[in-house]
Every structure is written in structure tokens, then in C-alpha cells.
Amino acid sequence: MGEGNFTKLLQKRSLLRFVQKYQPLGSGEPEEEPHEECELKIIEQEKEVEVLPPKDACKCHKEDLARALHVDLQTGLSEFSVLQRRSKHGWNEFSVENTEPIWKKYLDQFKNPLILLLLASALVSVITKEYEDAASITMAVLIVVTVAFIQEYRSEKSLEELHKLVPPECNCLREGKLQHLLARELVPGDIIYLSVGDRVPADLRLIEVTDLLVDESSFTGEAEPCNKTDGVLLEAGDITTLSNVVFMGTLVRYGKGKGVVIGTGENSQFGEVFKMMQAEETPKTPLQKSMDRLGKQLTLFSFGIIGLIMLIGWLQGKRLLSMFTIGVSLAVAAIPEGLPIVVTVTLVLGVLRMAKKKVIVKKLPIVETLGCCNVICSDKTGTLTANEMTVTRLVTSDGCQAEVSGVGYNGEGNVYLLPSKEILKEFSNISIGKLVEAGCVVNNAIIRKNSVIGQPTEGALIALAMKMELADIKDIYVRKKEIPFSSEQKWMAVKCTLKNQDQEDIYFMKGAFEEVIQHCTLYNSGGISLSLTPQQKALYQQEEKRMGSSGLRVLALASGPELGKLTFLGLVGIIDPPRAGVREAVQVLFESGVSVKMITGDALETAVAIGQNIGLCNGKLKAMSGEELDQLAEAELSSTVQDVSIFFRTSPKHKLKIIKALQRAGAVVSMTGDGVNDAVALKSADIGIAMGQAGTDVSKEAANMILVDDDFSKVMNAIEEGKGIFYNIKNFVRFQLSTSISALSLITLSTVLNLPNPLNAMQILWINIIMDGPPAQSLGVEPVDRDTIKQPPRCITDTILSKSLILKIFMSALIIISGTLFVFWKENPKGGITPRTTTMTFTCFVFFDLFNALTCRSQTKLIFEIGFFRNRMFLYSVLGSFLGQLAVIYIPPLQKIFQTENLGVLDLLFLTGLASSVFVVSELVKLCEKRCCHPKHTKGCHN
């Protein structure tokens, strides 16, 4: 036993020597420690250091924190401690579990029922020695599977992108020396120094701060940087209230600080998001579900054909094996092998059209899913709003009011005096000019290339001065002293003097109204300072409350010769305003039956103000907090969330909860967001939409779609495209099934009734080319109808083969069969079948096909409404098929191959008139449907 302990001690001493050997450069030679001290140190290191949850760490005093993490706050950890802790907690990074090999992902694409059905038909074709059919079907399958695999392989990188969150470097105190380290090297207990512009490298409990402001917008949704302290908190609320803790990946906007690492890698708050993302699976899209159902329906249809033909053959006393072979051949021919290609091509073209509109779609079926979307859950900050603080309202001390146009830090916009709407510049209104001047002078922000360096609130005041052409006014002052903002005093002041003038000093102050007003004895009235009365103070307080209740962040401004004797100048209202075009987009979406819900980490007042501004739910707002969400049971939540339009003070877990509840209620949910806190919700939603410019890397990778220019209104284009794609797929299915059923029925009837075959093998092959070729494929690229956006979202349970579509398919098939059999009967002389008979029957069937394709361009609109020339590819393919048919009839070499002969002009006119009947009847059915059934739009704040 003693020998074992001695061996263990020797191992630890050798590890210690290893650590001492690799001390940082410049640290000098390590001094030999006494044996007893070293042994005590090893015993102390044996105590395992656990990660401290933020809600526990925020309530610890510095001394308790040092004891819990076994660290000296003045010198930091030793290299030995770091190695030992890393062996337990690992590196400060996110490790993505080994994913499936590429070959397995590729093979998974073959699980689609329609693909399996096509492979079965290829196998049957090989058995029946139809090698050409087998080759064409296999080629079609490989093309579809490969395209789908490439798209999906590109999109499965969301977890890997979390690596980009961890900043590469940080300043860390170890063994009494400040070292520049890679962030991945950090362990719990490390001491970190923070300064302006730093990304926080791990979750830290702050132990020293100087005016520290941290931007947590990508994490909490709060647009305003959070003021941080180093004091002990008595109560731990949600993470947005932990003022003495900073989280990994957030940005230091102002000041400096020092903190102890309490959580690294997957044990940080972002690690929680990471684990939630790992647990989430991207749901199957409605189109994938519809295609699965169609594959199963076609399988049943195929077995039905085989069974029927075998039954008829058995009743007629024919050999069952030969009847089985005929049945299988017909079933294989009935399966539309062109369908997967058309679906893929249609989706790819949809993706390309969206790319032109600056919307990147990463997963093909997602384009169509938007057609089913009936709820859009949107993050507020950076999505509905620009995440650029902007002054929107001014109220001066003498009662002048002005509103400000323009968003962000580009200086575009104007200041309008109310109610006259007069545009103000410089000091055209002395009171507003002095208010804007004060905001510009008591300011440390800089605007460069339309972005702010410093606090966003101060950036808003500089942008206001730019709109008033007063941005350079601070240059006429020399700053002598600054009293920085602190959370205790809630104000900031600067002491200045005018350049090149011997005048007394002047103070400018900005801050919370209740603090600034205490330093004021006068108020400004048209450039003259008058005594401040209690009545005036009450009026200002009333105005400040009114501005605050409308969601504005209110700043008070004052100036004067000394603190305590300042002149009150007025109030400035600041907000992160809605993006341009959002209100109009929300209105159009609402009218088309899509409900928009705002999910934000912000306060109720701000969320409601933005909600009213953009016209959420037609102004009938109902709000719910994250805390209220937690108190609801799962079943109750599913029924409640449908009526709520604003969710405030929410965390990533709340966002996920809301989306899951809506999905349980049967909604197809789209989630738009830009922050890390949105990533889990973006992945679990049916459609995740990230912002291209303002969005974090994680949100972009978790999403299925990216709005390149952050334009929320582009969601409308995407929904329109999604609806159009589904209609195009239905059009193709109608055309191909009605044509294939017609061809099969002709062959089946002739086989069963022992009649001569109306079409020979080469003619059937030509019909198959038209059936699966250019005319059919061109239906998939029909441009999106302009009225599509007005249609209500497609029900998720709707199948491609709806009852209405099946009836139309059989109606068209019946007309084609009847017309073709009529020509066959009419042209069939008593002496037997002649080349004229097959030529007339064959040409009649092809003409029926082309007219059928023409009416299949739309299920609801007449040809005159959609226009003959809108789909040029369709026109070229029909014209090509028509000319090809004429070549087959009139060119001698082709006449020999297809066993045809010349037809007269009257023959062609007769066939054209007869074949047009399928088009005329279909158009009349559309007309009747229009007059009898008016589609009802879903309007209201529900799903």
C-alpha cells in the first residue's frame, strides 16, 4: 500500500518537473521547492474543481469564489493546475460527435419510397430483358439521389460552426504573469482580463470592473449593451439579470474588467445551446412527406394493375405466368420515373430564382415547405429591427417636439418639427439645436463606415447630429474632464471649454431623467435660461413616462457652468426601429393567412411598441413572458401559443418550447433570427431563416435559408415561390399520370380483349419520350402566378394526389382513350390494320398529349388568364414535339422505323379538332369551379 502511494507521488513529482520545464519564456529558472510544500501542493490539487453554474457564481463573494475554484486571484493558476483541470474538463471548445460516413449518407437517399419503387421497376425490366428501360430508370434514380445528397451534405454543418464562436486569443493571468493565450486553452479558475473590442472567451464571474458594458444581443436579444458590475447578487433571476457574469461569445463594447472562468466549452451557456442543437433533428418537409405518400399510392396502384390483369387472364383461361409478365410490364410503365427528376429540377430552379432575389436556400425541399408555412416566429433584434439604435423623438424643455426619420448610423434622414413638419438644420430652432449639440458633445462614440465604435446609444446621438448637420460641433470644444457613466449614478458628464476663447467652463450631462433633473436649477426656453419650477419638473416627468411607455429609451440632457446649477435642455427618445418594408410584409402575410409572432429577450414595453409599429396581428396584440411560458403544461401551451403574438423575456429554451408547441398544434412554423440564441429554434423549425449581414455564423449554419440583405419582406417572395413549386409538381403529375393511364389502358384493352394492338413498340417509345420528356419537364418550370401569395397556406395533410386531382386525371384519360379508340375504329378496315390506321391512331394520341399538357399548365386558371407566352420553355418543347411528330409522319426513313405513312391536311385538321376536346373540357371544368366554388381566405390572428 505504502509502495503504491510512493509510486503515485513519484509520478506526480515527475509531472510537476515536466510543467516547470515548459514554463513561459522569460520566467527564469524554476526554483526547487521543499519536499513537504510540493507534497501539500499535490494533495491540494487532488481536490476536484467543479464548474460553477452562473446562477450560483453570481451569489459568491470573491473569497468564496477563489476557495471554490482553488485559485489565487492575484497570481492565477499554476501550469500544473491547468493540466490537471484540462484532463477533467477538456479544451474550451465544442467537439462535434463523429457523424455518419459519407457513403452511408448517400445510401440513406435511397430510403425514399418512390426511389425504391423505381429501383424495383428497373429490376423487373432487367428480368423481362427490357435493358433500355432498366438503364434509363437507373440513370434517373442516380441523378436525383446525387443532386439531393450534394445539397444535404452542404447543409449539415451547423454544429461545426460553433467553433467560430470561441475567440482565438485572450489575456490570461497564470503564475503571476499576464499571458496572451489561445482561448481553447482556458480551464475553470483561470483569471481573464477584458478590454474594449474583446470577445468574452468563456463564462466569467467578474471580480473587477471599470465602466464595463457588454453587448449580449446575439445571446439575449437585448439591443442595448448590459452594464456589468462585480458586486454580489442576493437573488439570481434569469441569465439576462446576472450583472456580475459575462458569457462566452459576447462582445465588450466599453470599459474593462477582470473575471474568473466558471464555465468552458460545453459547460458554458453557449454549450447549453450546443447540446440542445445536437439533440434537435431537422423535421421532414411537407413535400418529402407528400412524395412518400405518392410513392406508396403508386405502389398500391401498380399491385392493383398486376392483380387485375392476372384475375382477367385466369377468368379467360390464359397462362398465369404470361399474364403476370404483362401486368408487371404495365405497372412498371405506369410509374412516372420522370417525377423525381421534375421535382428536383423544379426545386433547383426555385432555388436559383430565390438566389437572384438575394435569398440563399440550402436544402432543396425547403423552398416548397414555405408554401405550407402558416406561422412565422421572428426574433426582434436584428431581424424585425435593424439592431441599430436610432433617435426617433425629441422633446425640448420649452415644449418643442420633433420626430426623426431614417434608421441606423448613416446619417440619412431628417428632423421634423411638429406639427408643422418643417425640416430642421443646425440651429434653425435654437432649443432643438442646443439639445442635439449637448448629445453630440457628451459622447465618446465614433461613426465610421456606417457603423458605430462605442455605445450604440451614443452612436444614435451622433447620427442625430449628422441629420441636423451638427456632427462637427464637438470640435469647437476642448474636453478638460470626464465623469464616466456608472450604474449607481446613471449619468455621464464632460467639462469643456470653447477653443481659442477665454470663456468659463461648461458642463454637458446626459443620463436617466430622474438623476439629471436633480442637477438642474434652470430650464432652457428659446435660448434663455429660466428658473425650474416643480410644475415644470412634473410636466417633464409625465412626458418621460409617456415616451418610456411607448417603448423608447429616454435620455435627459442638460448643460451649465457647474454641476448642481445646470440648465435642463430636454428629452431624447431612442429605439431600435423596425427595418424598412417589415410593416408592409407583415400586412401581406396576415392577409394571406400567415400569422407572424415576435419572440424576443427584450422588455414588454419595447416589444409591444415594435409590435404595434409593424402591425402585428392587425394591432390586436396579446403578450406572454418566458416565466409565464414555464408555468404552462404542454397541452395548455399548444392551445395558448396560437393566440399570443408577442413573447418577451425569452431564452433559447423558451423559443424551442414555443416552436414545438405550435408544431404540435399542427402549424408549419418558420423561424427567423440572427443570434446564437436563435440557433436551436432555427434548426427545430420547419423552415429556419437567418439574416445574412447581421446574423452570426451559428445562426446562418443552423438555418435552411439565409436572407442575404437582411430584408424580412423577402420571406414573402420565398412563400410565393414555395406555393408555386407545389402547384407545378401537381401539374406535372396530372399530365404524366393521365397520359400514362391512357396509354396503358389502350394496351390493356387490346391484350385482354384479344384485339390487334393500336400502337406498335416504336410508337409507344415515342409517346414515352413525350410523356417524360420536354413537354412534361417544362410544366415544372411554369413561372409563379402573381396571385399565388394571396392563396392561404397549403394544408400539411394535403397529398399531391388529392381527390380533385385524381378525378381530373381520370377525366382527361377517359377523353384521350375514347378519342383514340374512336379514330382506331373509324380507320380500321375489314381487311385488318394498315399503316394508315396506326398512323392516324398514333398521331391522334400524340396530339391529345400536347393539348393535355397545355391545359395542365394550371389547375385553376384558364389559359387566357395565365397567358400563352409566359412559359417559353413549354412553347418550345410543344412546338418541338409537334415538328417531331410531323417528321415521323412525312420523312421516309422515319416512316420505315415507325411504320407510318403520309396524312392529308384534312386528316391533321380533323385530329387537331378531336384532340383539342381534352383541352376544351378541362378549361370548361375550371370555369365551372371558379363560378361555383370561391376560395375562402384565412384571415385572422390564428393558424
- For residues 699 and 680, the answer to whether their CB atoms sit within 8 Å is no
How far is CA 133 from its chain centroid?
A: 42
Cell of 402: 420633433
Whole-angstrom distance, CA of residue 206 vs CA of residue 259: 4
Instruction: Give the DSSP letter of residue 650.
Output: -
Cell of 51: 464548474
25-36 in b/e burial notation, b at 16+ Cβ within 10 A? eeeeeeeeeeee
- For residues 242 and 55, the answer to whether their CB atoms sit within 8 Å is yes
Catalytic residue among 133, 379, 710, 772: 379
Instruction: Give the DSSP letter of residue 252.
Output: E
Q: How far apart are the first and last CA of the chain?
A: 72
- Give the number of C-alpha atoms closer than 13 A to the C-alpha of residue 720, restricted to the C-beta side: 20
- Please give the angle made by the CA atoms of 416, 417 and 422, to the nearest 5 degrees: 70
191-194 and 226-227 beta bridge pairing: unpaired
Q: In 317-455, where does DSSP find H-type helix?
A: 320-334, 338-356, 366-369, 430-441
Whole-angstrom distance, CA of residue 524 vs CA of residue 495: 19
177-182 and 203-215 beta bridge pairing: unpaired
Task: Supply the DSSP string of 493-515, one letter for each residue.
Answer: EEEEEETT-----EEEEEE-HHH
Picking from 788, 802, 888, the residue whose alpha carbon sits closest to that of residue 846 is 888
Whole-angstrom distance, CA of residue 337 vs CA of residue 737: 11
Beta-ladder partners of 494? 482, 508
- For residues 406 and 414, the answer to whether their CB atoms sit within 8 Å is yes
Whole-angstrom distance, CA of residue 188 vs CA of residue 51: 6
Beta-ladder partners of 571? 395, 556
Instruction: Give the DSSP letter of residue 442.
Output: S
Long-range (24+ apart) CB contacts under 8 A made by 483-491 are 484/211, 485/211, 485/511, 486/211, 487/227, 487/229, 487/243, 489/515, 490/514, 490/515, 491/515, 491/516, 491/519
- Please give the angle made by the CA atoms of 6, 9 and 11, to the nearest 5 degrees: 115
Whole-angstrom distance, CA of residue 360 vs CA of residue 173: 44
Nearest-10 Cα torsion for 269, 274, 278, 280: 70
- For residues 899 and 554, the answer to whether their CB atoms sit within 8 Å is no
Whole-angstrom distance, CA of residue 25 vs CA of residue 30: 12
Q: Is 169 exposed, middle or buried (0-12, 13-18, 19+ CB in 10 A)?
A: middle
User: Is 505 in the active site?
Assistant: no
| Residue linked to cell 449539415 | 156
Q: Residue 694 CB: number of other CB atoms within 10 A? A: 21
Whole-angstrom distance, CA of residue 61 vs CA of residue 196: 26
Picking from 285, 276, 263, 264, the residue whose alpha carbon sits closest to that of residue 159 is 276
Cell of 879: 412546338
- For residues 738 and 849, the answer to whether their CB atoms sit within 8 Å is no
- Please give the angle made by the CA atoms of 782, 788 and 793, to the nearest 5 degrees: 120
- For residues 679 and 271, the answer to whether their CB atoms sit within 8 Å is no
Beta-ladder partners of 258? 193, 208
Catalytic residue annotation: 379
